[in-house]
């Protein structure tokens, strides 16, 4: 089971699973072993696969308590196919005979049909476990020997004579009986459930539609929110949008500012994190998304160099993060394709003197956790 | 290593074939279902329903009772994790096995790194990897359980293990 192709420049002539699972014939096996001696890539892949096979093999196995196993047995094996749980399951509970009375016949949430089956008189005909040979009990316990089927236990105990209709209510006056007979029959459960489900779906749909309409009114093009906003003061023309203030805070413009109001309003954003060892001469060469966990977005900045440069992560506004690498290059780092539910994109890097600045566009308000890793040096941003 | 060793129950030579299969395979089937669906609470119910379905069908099991059980359980898990349509009708409530999972079982089936990496795989790849490396099925049995020709299983396993390894490497730190 070998192939002669290559994938993304990697040698894939050998299927590691075929090697690990002994799926190779004699000739192929010889060829594969020869190839493995000479090809580091294939050898690494086989080792990588072997490691993951071992990890999956060593996943812990949850043990099941005997009582749960007995309940599962009662539910899973139909009566016709049951012989004796004590013999079938083995001595998992020591002895099947338990003196402690169990209040309910089963501890499952049974479907309705199952419950009715259990209560049916036909169920009484099955072989009782009490008939099985039991350990010699010198003093007869108050309840006979088994507890899996309390209904049968109740039958094997001394029986009191009770009138057949004793469970019924006292005879009511004739007028009430006729009234009850004339009342309309109850609606079948299935039909009632279907009606409730339909009504639920319709109501959920209506609520969802209302939410969409409300969101449209509020947020599309400013919508109704513009009515509540105070118009921008004519004396502060540059403070109209958050993007302007971001640019003003991140890149202190060298050109004379068109309005003097920028400087007092653009306060320096608070740093979320200041990281690194201050190593100079690094280069950021790649930015990638680093996890498959849907709970957060992981953005990883891969670097080449001797260590971690000084890095600062700031958030000038809710929609942007600014990551500054001191004494680092990498203005041509590709930033395409970085888009998730939390991440709108990463703008191309800007080299400001010796520093490299990335602006991360956020798709929603997030909580940011930043940390670094070495070997190779990386900066990791987790957006929650 | 916190692996819990489960002894095969003694006394499995008596009873019907289904009872013997229950005694020997219930625990591993339940663990397989829990790993496959990543839902511990519903695993017991799915396993019980699997046995029940096999018992009520009373059909032949060409690849053996164990493979038949795993095939039905895999199909039930596939139905369970299949995304529902908008406003689709929710399936009938799953049986809940009272007393399971207890604290020990929750500890054994906790979402560690390998389990999280498994959960990130596609369903078919996850099933393939688990059936081979966790349940230790043979290739013919896997072919029957998954409905995949035997000659394609090696490549399916290659894909699944490669992806699992890649995901594991990403999330392990």
Per-residue pLDDT of A62-104, as tens digits, reads 888 888 888 888 888 877 767 666 655 555 443 333 333 333 3
Q: Which range has the worst mean pLDDT, A115-129, A195-209, A283-297, B100-114? A: A115-129
By C-alpha distance, the chain B residue nearest A55 is B114
Q: Do A18 and B108 touch (CB under 8 A)?
A: no
Nearest CB neighbour to A63, from listed B4, B95, B115: B4
Highest mean pLDDT among A164-168, A246-250, A312-316: A312-316
Q: Do B165 and A290 touch (CB under 8 A)?
A: no
Q: Which range has the worst mean pLDDT, A1-5, A62-66, A309-313, B83-87? A: A1-5
Q: Do B19 and A83 touch (CB under 8 A)?
A: yes
pLDDT at A268: 67
Residues of B in contact with A77 (CB under 8 A): 16, 18-19, 22, 51-52, 55
Residue B11 has pLDDT above 50, yes or no: no
Residue B168 at interface with chain A, using a CB cutoff of 8 Å: yes
Residue B13 has pLDDT above 80, yes or no: no
User: What whole-number distance in Å separates Cα of residue A75 and Cα of residue B110?
Assistant: 26
User: Residue A220: which pLDDT band, with cuts at 50, 70 and 90?
Assistant: low
pLDDT at A273: 86
User: What whole-number distance in Å separates Cα of residue A378 and Cα of residue B3?
Assistant: 34
B15-73 tens-digit pLDDT: 677 888 888 889 999 999 999 998 888 888 889 889 888 888 766 777 788 999 999 99
Average pLDDT of the residues in A114-121: 39
Q: Do B6 and A63 touch (CB under 8 A)?
A: yes
What is the b/e burial string over A273-294, where b = at least 16 CB atoms within 10 angstroms of the residue's CB?
Answer: bebbeebeebbbbebeebbbee
Mean pLDDT of chain A, nearest integer = 68
Residue A231 has pLDDT above 70, yes or no: no
Q: To the nearest whole angstrom, how far is the Cα of A89 from the nearest Cα of chain B?
A: 5
pLDDT at A208: 93
B129-173 tens-digit pLDDT: 999 999 999 999 999 999 999 989 999 999 999 999 999 999 887
Q: List, as ranges, residues 57-86 from B with C-beta within 8 Å of A.
A: none
User: Residue A9: which pLDDT band, with cuts at 50, 70 and 90?
Assistant: low
Phi-psi region of A223 (alpha: psi -120 to 50; beta: other; left: phi over 0): left
Q: Do A63 and B27 touch (CB under 8 A)?
A: yes
pLDDT at A174: 47
* Ranges of H-type helices in B13-138: 17-37, 40-57, 65-81, 103-108, 113-119, 123-129
Fold classification of B111-173 is Arc Repressor Mutant, subunit A (1.10.10)
Contact A239, A232 (CB under 8 A): yes
**Consecutive H or E run containing A115:** helix A112-119
By C-alpha distance, the chain A residue nearest B57 is A78
Contact B168, A52 (CB under 8 A): yes
pLDDT at A225: 56
Residue A361 has pLDDT above 60, yes or no: yes
Number of CB atoms found within 10 A of residue A20's CB: 18
Global ipTM: 0.86
Nearest CB neighbour to B89, from listed A55, A197, A293: A197
Greater model confidence, B133 or A258: B133
pLDDT at B143: 94
Q: To the nearest whole angstrom, how far is the Cα of B97 from the nearest Cα of chain A?
A: 6
Q: To the nearest whole angstrom, how far is the Cα of A95 from the nearest Cα of chain B?
A: 13
Q: To the nearest whole angstrom, how far is the Cα of B137 from the nearest Cα of chain A?
A: 11
Which residues on neighbouring strands pair with residue A273, listed in sequence order? A313
User: Residue A188: which pLDDT band, with cuts at 50, 70 and 90?
Assistant: low
pLDDT at A271: 82
Domain ranges of chain B: 1-110, 111-173
Residues of A in contact with B47 (CB under 8 A): 72, 76
Choose the mutation target among B12, B51, B140, B151 for the interface with A, i.e. most A CBs under 10 Å.
B51
* Both structure tokens of B87: 């406003």
Q: To the nearest whole angstrom, how far is the Cα of A73 from the nearest Cα of chain B?
A: 8
pLDDT at A64: 87
Cα→Cα distances B126→A110, A381, B34, B122, Å = 31, 29, 12, 6
User: Residue B5: which pLDDT band, with cuts at 50, 70 and 90?
Assistant: low
User: Residue A222: which pLDDT band, with cuts at 50, 70 and 90?
Assistant: low
Residue A258 has pLDDT above 80, yes or no: no
Residues of B in contact with A111 (CB under 8 A): 92, 95
Residue B1 has pLDDT above 70, yes or no: no
Q: Do A291 and B170 touch (CB under 8 A)?
A: yes
User: Residue A119: which pLDDT band, with cuts at 50, 70 and 90?
Assistant: very low
Q: To the nearest whole angstrom, how far is the Cα of B23 from the nearest Cα of chain A?
A: 5
User: What whole-number distance in Å separates Cα of residue A152 and Cα of residue A143?
Assistant: 11
CA-nearest of B110, B120, B32 to B76 is B32
Q: Do A88 and B104 touch (CB under 8 A)?
A: no
Residue B110 has pLDDT above 90, yes or no: no
User: What whole-number distance in Å separates Cα of residue A365 and Cα of residue A209?
Assistant: 25
Residue A41 has pLDDT above 70, yes or no: yes
Q: What is the DSSP track for A201-240?
A: HHHHHHHHHHHHHHHHHHHGGGTTHHHHSPPPPTT-GGGS
- Using DSSP, state whether A167 is helix, strand or coil: coil
Residue B32 at interface with chain A, using a CB cutoff of 8 Å: no
């Amino acid at each position: 089971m070998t192939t002669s192709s290559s994938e993304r420049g990697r040698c894939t002539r050998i299927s590691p699973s075929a090697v690990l699972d002994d799926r190779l014939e004699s000739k192929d096996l010889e060829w594969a072993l020869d190839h493995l001696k000479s090809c580091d890539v294939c050898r690494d892949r086989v080792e990588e696969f072997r490691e993951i096979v071992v990890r999956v093999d060593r996943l812990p196995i949850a043990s099941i308590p005997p009582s749960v196993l007995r309940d599962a047995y009662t539910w899973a094996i139909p009566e016709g196919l049951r012989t004796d749980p004590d013999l079938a399951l083995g001595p998992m509970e020591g002895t099947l005979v338990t003196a402690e009375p169990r209040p309910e016949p089963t501890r499952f949430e049974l479907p309705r049909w199952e419950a009715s089956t259990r209560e049916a008189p036909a169920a009484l005909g099955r072989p009782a476990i009490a008939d099985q040979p039991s350990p010699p009990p010198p003093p007869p316990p108050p309840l006979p020997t088994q507890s899996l089927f309390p209904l049968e236990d109740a039958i094997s105990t001394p029986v009191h004579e009770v009138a057949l209709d004793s469970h019924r209510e006292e005879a009511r006056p004739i007028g009430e009986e006729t009234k009850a007979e004339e009342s309309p029959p109850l609606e079948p459960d299935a039909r009632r459930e279907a009606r409730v489900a339909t009504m639920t779906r319709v109501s959920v749909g209506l609520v969802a539609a209302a939410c969409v309409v409300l969101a449209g009114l509020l947020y599309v093009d400013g919508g109704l929110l513009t009515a509540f906003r105070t118009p921008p003061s004519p004396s502060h023309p540059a403070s109209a949008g958050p993007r302007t203030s971001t640019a003003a805070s991140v890149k202190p413009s060298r050109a004379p500012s068109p309005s003097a109001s920028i400087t007092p309003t653009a306060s320096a954003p608070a740093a979320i994190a200041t990281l690194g060892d201050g190593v100079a001469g690094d280069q950021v060469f790649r930015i990638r998304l680093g996890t498959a966990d849907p709970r957060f977005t992981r953005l990883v900045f891969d670097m080449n160099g001797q260590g971690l440069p000084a890095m600062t992560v700031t958030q000038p506004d809710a929609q942007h993060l600014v990551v500054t690498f001191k004494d680092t290059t990498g203005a041509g780092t590709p930033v395409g394709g970085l888009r998730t539910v939390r991440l709108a994109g990463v703008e191309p890097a800007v080299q400001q003197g010796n520093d490299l600045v990335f602006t991360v566009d956020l798709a929603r308000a997030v909580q940011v956790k930043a940390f670094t890793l070495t070997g190779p040096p990386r900066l990791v941003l987790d957006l929650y | 290593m916190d692996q819990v060793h489960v002894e095969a129950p003694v006394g499995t030579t008596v009873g019907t074939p289904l009872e013997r299969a229950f005694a020997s395979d219930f625990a591993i089937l339940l663990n397989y279902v829990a790993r496959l669906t990543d839902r511990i609470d519903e695993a017991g119910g799915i396993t019980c329903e699997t046995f029940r379905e096999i018992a009520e069908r009373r059909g032949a099991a060409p690849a053996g009772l164990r493979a038949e059980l795993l095939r039905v359980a895999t199909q039930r898990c596939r139905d369970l994790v299949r995304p529902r349509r908008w406003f689709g009708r929710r399936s009938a409530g799953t049986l809940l096995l009272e007393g399971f999972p207890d604290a020990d079982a929750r500890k054994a089936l906790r979402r560690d790194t390998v389990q999280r990496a498994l959960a990130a795989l596609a369903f078919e790849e996850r099933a393939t990897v688990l059936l081979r490396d966790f349940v230790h099925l043979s290739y013919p049995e896997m072919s029957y359980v998954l409905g995949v020709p035997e000659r394609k299983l090696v490549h399916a396993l290659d894909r699944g293990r490669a992806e699992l390894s890649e995901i594991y490497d990403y999330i392990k730190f």
